[in-house]
Amino acid sequence: MFDINNLFSGGNLLAGLDIGSSCIKLAELSESSKGAVLSRFAVMPLAKGVIVDGAVVETEALTAVIKDLYKKSGCKRKKVATSISGNSVIVKKASFAQMEESDLGALIHDEADKYLPFDDMSLVDYDFQIIGENPFNSSQMDVLIVAAKKEIVEGYTDAVEAAGLTPVIMDVDSFAVETMYEENYDFEENDLAVLVNIGASITNLNVVKGGMSIFTRDFNLGGNSITESVAASLGLSFEDAEKAKIEGHGEDSPSRELFRAGLITYADTICSEIERSIDYFRSTFGQENIGRVLLSGGGALTPGIAGDMERRLGIETALVDPFQKIKVDKKALEAGPANMIGPLASVSIGLALRKIGDK
């Protein structure tokens, strides 16, 4: 949402850099006569503690991993779109009288403290997007306002710039997944879908109607909860539990039953949280006809979680597929098969779909 600089000349294609708390992913899209093509995708792990609660704590460590990721991928594109999420970003929907975008921008600038929970707006970066006419009052329009403390944004941009790259757009994880969804899925104007991005420490939930976000929520629960559940079940350290997660997939693994117990506990916890979020959305918006739930992020690859969530929610639930309309260069699949890369790559692909000058 934050267009850091839209005055650059030259090509407008960006690399998508998804900086998570446990790993970072890089996606590069190329244009062809048949549409977008995923030409590069790479993943690098990030040490625990480099990013905490959505804020960069160890800038130099993050910069080093970004450099290694670029070297590994062979990507030459220096202009990037990246994103933030969780407690570091505020997303608020508000209604205003119908007016021109320029007038709205001036109004929000003058009265931002009325809509955002910050005492000093000089310490905040914010942006807005007009969603459309308010469904209950045609004289008003709905507007999405996104804000983050400058120190949070600068933590990411400083690390990216130190790696020799130019951060052009600072997006939000939820909206990056939405961009990917809009590119790949067909939907009608009133179709409702819930996009759930399960990261290592944060889960983003975004309800979209006809391809437009109408409700978002982030909560501090993610793939690390799986590791913690496995660690508790097997009596292991966090690091050893990470290894057990891989071992636990094996049918002959002696720890499989305890491993599954950890997964069941995790799935029940996250399903409950998502169910509460959807119930709150329905009670607030009066919407009942949610067509599907699409899961992305590393936590979405937890065995059986899509089925568990579908049974719990009573809504069709599936792993997201960012390759329904985006083609894939076979060389980009070195990181794994498409059905495994898809959920992992969703945010970075959404970022790579952004163009310089996008709102």
Q: What residue segments make up the domains of the chain, in order of their start?
A: 1-88+150-185+324-359, 187-321
What's residue 8's pLDDT? 30
> How far is C-alpha 126 from the geometric centre of its chain's CA atoms?
18
pLDDT digits (tens, 9 = 90+) for 113-146: 888 888 788 888 888 888 888 888 999 999 989 9
According to CATH, the topology of domain 187-321 is: Nucleotidyltransferase; domain 5 (3.30.420)
pLDDT digits (tens, 9 = 90+) for 160-194: 999 999 999 999 999 999 999 999 999 998 899 99
pLDDT digits (tens, 9 = 90+) for 66-77: 999 999 999 999
d(CA 263, CA 307): 13
Mean pLDDT value across residues 286-311 = 86
Confidence check: pLDDT of 348 > 80: yes
Mean pLDDT value across residues 48-77 = 94
What's residue 227's pLDDT? 72
What's residue 231's pLDDT? 73
Q: Do domains 1-88+150-185+324-359 and 187-321 have the same CATH topology?
A: yes
Confidence check: pLDDT of 233 > 80: no
Choosing among 2.30.40.10, 3.40.50.880, 3.30.420.40, 1.20.1260.10, the CATH entry for 1-88+150-185+324-359 is 3.30.420.40
Residue 45 vs residues 38, 64, 119, 151: alpha-carbon distances, Å? 21, 11, 36, 24
pLDDT band at 92 (very low <50, low <70, confident <90, very high): confident
SS (H, E, C) the chain: CEECCCCCCCCCECEEEEECCCEEEEEEEEEECCEEEEEEEEEEECCCCCEECCEECCHHHHHHHHHHHHHHHCCCCCEEEEEECHHHEEEEEEEEECCCHHHHHHHHHHHHHHCCCCCCHHHEEEEEEEEEEECCEEEEEEEEEEEEEHHHHHHHHHHHHHCCCEEEEEEEHHHHHHHHHHHHCCCCCCCEEEEEEECCCCEEEEEEECCEEEEEEEECCCHHHHHHHHHHHHCCCHHHHHHHHHHCCCCCCCCHHHHHHHHHHHHHHHHHHHHHHHHHHHHHHCCCCEEEEEEECHHHHCCCHHHHHHHHHCCCEEECCCCCCCEECHHHHHHCCHHHHHHHHHHHHHHHCCECCCC
What's residue 259's pLDDT? 52
Q: Positive or negative CA dihedral for 28, 32, 37, 42?
A: negative
What's residue 242's pLDDT? 65
